[in-house]
Amino acid sequence: MQKAANAGWLMNIVTVFALRYGTMPRRRKYKTNADRQRAYRKRNRQRAWLKSGSSEWETPQELFTDLDGEFHFTIDVAATPENAKCPRFFTRQEDGLKQIWEGTCFCNPPYGPRVGRWIKKARESARRGATVVCLIPARTDTTWWHDFVIPYSEVRFIRGRLRFGNNGNPAPFPSAVVVFR
């Protein structure tokens, strides 16, 4: 008898809700508020390298000109024929990670989960005598930043957000110039 009374009471609440708001209450999708928040964060997690649909960001010419005036680059180790900043460059097909970096190298690597591999290669090349200047996202919370950037390089944080290539919008991440010698 108690169960039937509870069912009637619940039916009255649902009926009042439906009459007041013109709709039936929505069934709960998540058991707890923490589950709902976790799902929301997962859905809305933004990865900067995926926002534009590309992991390649063309170096702003003014920034490159300033850096080239200081370092006099001999090779761009991560470029495409369309965005290469030096007469000598490695393309995606040549895979700059498999090449020997010598002289004064400029590196604006593809901004994705493989940035750490490029930074590790820059560090190794500097140990062999090259000077490598990298334009990278300032991801100070990553393992590669702590393992290779902090202990082995000079870091120059860029104030504000860069505007890459012909894109009118600023980058969705901060940037840094990292020098390995």
How much of the chain, in percent, has pLDDT values that exceed 90? 58
8 Å CB contact between 105 and 81: no
pTM equals: 0.70
What digits encode the pLDDT tens for the residues 18-57?
667 766 666 777 888 888 888 877 776 645 444 445 567 7
Domains and CATH numbers, the chain: 2-45 (no CATH), 49-180 (3.40.50.150)
**Residue keyed to tokens 């991560």:** 78
The whole-angstrom separation of Cα 173 and Cα 181 is: 26
- 3-state helix/strand/coil string of the chain: CHHHHHHHHHHHHHHHHHHHHCCCCCCCCCCCHHHHHHHHHHHHCCCHHHHCCCCCCCCCHHHHHHHHHHHCCCEECCCCCCCCCCCCECCCCCCHHHCCCCCEEEECCCCCCCHHHHHHHHHHHHHCCCEEEEEEECCCCCHHHHHHHHHHCEEEECCCCCCCCCCCCCCCCCEEEEEEC
What digits encode the pLDDT tens for the residues 65-77?
999 999 999 999 9
